[in-house]
Amino acid sequence: MKWTVRQSVLLSRVFIGFFAALLLLIDAELVFVLATGSVRSPIPVLPSQLRAIRVCVCACSVPAWCTLVELWRLMGLLCREEVFSLKTVRLLRIISWCCFSVGAISCAAALFIHFSVLVISVAAALMGLIVRIVKNIIAQAVAMKDELDYTV
Protein backbone atom coordinates (compact mmCIF):
# COMPACT_ATOMS: atom_id res chain seq x y z
CA MET A 1 0.00 0.00 0.00
CA LYS A 2 1.34 3.39 -0.96
CA TRP A 3 0.93 6.29 1.49
CA THR A 4 -0.71 9.43 0.22
CA VAL A 5 0.03 12.91 1.51
CA ARG A 6 -3.36 12.99 3.25
CA GLN A 7 -2.69 9.70 5.03
CA SER A 8 0.76 10.87 6.11
CA VAL A 9 -0.65 14.16 7.42
CA LEU A 10 -3.38 12.27 9.25
CA LEU A 11 -0.80 10.00 10.90
CA SER A 12 1.29 13.02 11.85
CA ARG A 13 -1.76 14.71 13.37
CA VAL A 14 -2.55 11.53 15.33
CA PHE A 15 0.98 11.62 16.76
CA ILE A 16 0.64 15.33 17.54
CA GLY A 17 -2.59 14.53 19.39
CA PHE A 18 -0.86 11.67 21.23
CA PHE A 19 1.95 13.95 22.36
CA ALA A 20 -0.57 16.63 23.34
CA ALA A 21 -2.36 14.05 25.52
CA LEU A 22 0.95 13.06 27.13
CA LEU A 23 1.84 16.69 27.76
CA LEU A 24 -1.60 17.28 29.24
CA LEU A 25 -1.07 14.34 31.61
CA ILE A 26 2.32 15.70 32.65
CA ASP A 27 0.85 19.15 33.24
CA ALA A 28 -2.09 17.65 35.19
CA GLU A 29 0.32 15.68 37.37
CA LEU A 30 2.32 18.85 37.99
CA VAL A 31 -0.83 20.73 39.00
CA PHE A 32 -1.75 17.84 41.33
CA VAL A 33 1.69 17.89 42.93
CA LEU A 34 1.60 21.67 43.34
CA ALA A 35 -1.93 21.60 44.78
CA THR A 36 -1.48 18.72 47.21
CA GLY A 37 2.23 18.87 47.90
CA SER A 38 2.45 15.09 47.61
CA VAL A 39 4.77 13.39 45.21
CA ARG A 40 3.97 10.03 43.64
CA SER A 41 7.40 8.88 42.56
CA PRO A 42 9.12 5.51 42.99
CA ILE A 43 12.47 7.31 42.81
CA PRO A 44 13.56 9.18 45.94
CA VAL A 45 13.94 12.87 45.19
CA LEU A 46 15.46 15.53 47.41
CA PRO A 47 13.24 18.55 48.15
CA SER A 48 15.66 20.90 46.38
CA GLN A 49 15.65 18.63 43.32
CA LEU A 50 11.87 18.41 43.41
CA ARG A 51 11.58 22.20 43.28
CA ALA A 52 13.98 22.34 40.33
CA ILE A 53 12.07 19.57 38.54
CA ARG A 54 8.80 21.45 39.00
CA VAL A 55 10.29 24.67 37.64
CA CYS A 56 11.87 22.83 34.71
CA VAL A 57 8.64 21.04 33.80
CA CYS A 58 6.62 24.26 34.04
CA ALA A 59 9.15 26.17 31.95
CA CYS A 60 9.47 23.43 29.32
CA SER A 61 5.70 22.97 29.04
CA VAL A 62 5.21 26.36 27.38
CA PRO A 63 7.55 25.76 24.41
CA ALA A 64 6.30 22.17 24.17
CA TRP A 65 2.69 23.35 23.73
CA CYS A 66 3.85 26.01 21.29
CA THR A 67 5.69 23.36 19.27
CA LEU A 68 2.64 21.11 19.11
CA VAL A 69 0.43 23.99 17.95
CA GLU A 70 2.93 25.03 15.29
CA LEU A 71 3.32 21.43 14.11
CA TRP A 72 -0.47 21.22 13.76
CA ARG A 73 -0.43 24.42 11.69
CA LEU A 74 2.43 23.06 9.59
CA MET A 75 0.35 19.96 8.79
CA GLY A 76 -2.47 22.30 7.75
CA LEU A 77 -0.16 24.05 5.30
CA LEU A 78 0.90 20.68 3.96
CA CYS A 79 -2.78 19.74 3.39
CA ARG A 80 -3.29 22.99 1.48
CA GLU A 81 -0.11 22.31 -0.53
CA GLU A 82 1.60 25.45 0.79
CA VAL A 83 4.91 23.74 1.49
CA PHE A 84 7.24 26.24 -0.15
CA SER A 85 5.93 29.39 1.48
CA LEU A 86 7.12 31.99 3.95
CA LYS A 87 4.47 30.69 6.38
CA THR A 88 6.23 27.32 6.45
CA VAL A 89 9.57 29.02 7.06
CA ARG A 90 8.08 31.06 9.92
CA LEU A 91 6.52 27.97 11.56
CA LEU A 92 9.78 26.02 11.29
CA ARG A 93 11.67 28.97 12.79
CA ILE A 94 9.29 29.06 15.77
CA ILE A 95 9.59 25.29 16.25
CA SER A 96 13.38 25.46 16.19
CA TRP A 97 13.45 28.23 18.80
CA CYS A 98 11.08 26.23 20.98
CA CYS A 99 13.48 23.28 20.80
CA PHE A 100 16.44 25.52 21.64
CA SER A 101 14.56 27.00 24.59
CA VAL A 102 13.83 23.53 26.01
CA GLY A 103 17.52 22.75 25.56
CA ALA A 104 18.55 25.87 27.44
CA ILE A 105 16.00 25.33 30.23
CA SER A 106 17.00 21.71 30.74
CA CYS A 107 20.70 22.63 30.62
CA ALA A 108 20.14 25.13 33.42
CA ALA A 109 18.04 22.58 35.31
CA ALA A 110 20.87 20.05 35.10
CA LEU A 111 22.82 22.22 37.54
CA PHE A 112 20.11 21.77 40.18
CA ILE A 113 18.67 18.33 39.41
CA HIS A 114 21.28 15.95 38.04
CA PHE A 115 23.99 15.91 35.41
CA SER A 116 22.03 13.31 33.40
CA VAL A 117 19.41 15.97 32.53
CA LEU A 118 21.97 17.24 30.03
CA VAL A 119 20.89 14.35 27.78
CA ILE A 120 17.50 16.08 27.39
CA SER A 121 19.26 19.37 26.76
CA VAL A 122 21.47 17.93 24.03
CA ALA A 123 18.56 16.08 22.41
CA ALA A 124 16.38 19.21 22.36
CA ALA A 125 19.21 21.36 21.00
CA LEU A 126 19.99 18.76 18.32
CA MET A 127 16.32 18.69 17.31
CA GLY A 128 16.36 22.48 17.15
CA LEU A 129 19.41 22.36 14.92
CA ILE A 130 17.80 19.81 12.59
CA VAL A 131 14.61 21.86 12.31
CA ARG A 132 16.69 25.00 11.76
CA ILE A 133 18.57 23.36 8.87
CA VAL A 134 15.29 22.17 7.31
CA LYS A 135 13.98 25.75 7.74
CA ASN A 136 17.02 27.10 5.88
CA ILE A 137 16.49 24.57 3.08
CA ILE A 138 12.81 25.49 2.76
CA ALA A 139 13.69 29.22 2.82
CA GLN A 140 16.13 28.67 -0.04
CA ALA A 141 13.52 26.66 -1.94
CA VAL A 142 10.98 29.48 -1.45
CA ALA A 143 13.47 31.98 -2.83
CA MET A 144 14.18 29.76 -5.83
CA LYS A 145 10.45 29.18 -6.41
CA ASP A 146 9.76 32.93 -6.29
CA GLU A 147 12.58 33.59 -8.75
CA LEU A 148 11.27 30.88 -11.06
CA ASP A 149 7.71 32.24 -10.84
CA TYR A 150 8.92 35.69 -11.95
CA THR A 151 10.98 34.40 -14.88
CA VAL A 152 8.19 32.38 -16.50
Model confidence pLDDT, tens digit, residues 55-91: 888 899 999 999 999 999 999 999 998 889 999 999 9
Domain residue spans of the chain: 5-151
Distance, in Å, from the CA atom of 40 to the CA atom of 24, rounded to the nearest integer, reads 17
pTM confidence score: 0.86
Tell me how many degrees the CA angle 49-24-134 measures, rounded to the nearest 5. Answer: 90
In this predicted model, what pLDDT tens digit does every residue of 90-145 receive, in sequence order? 999 999 999 999 999 999 988 888 788 889 999 999 999 999 999 999 999 999 98
Q: Inform me whether the pLDDT recorded for 41 exceeds 70.
A: no
Find, among 128, 149, 22, the residue nearest to 84 by Cα: 149
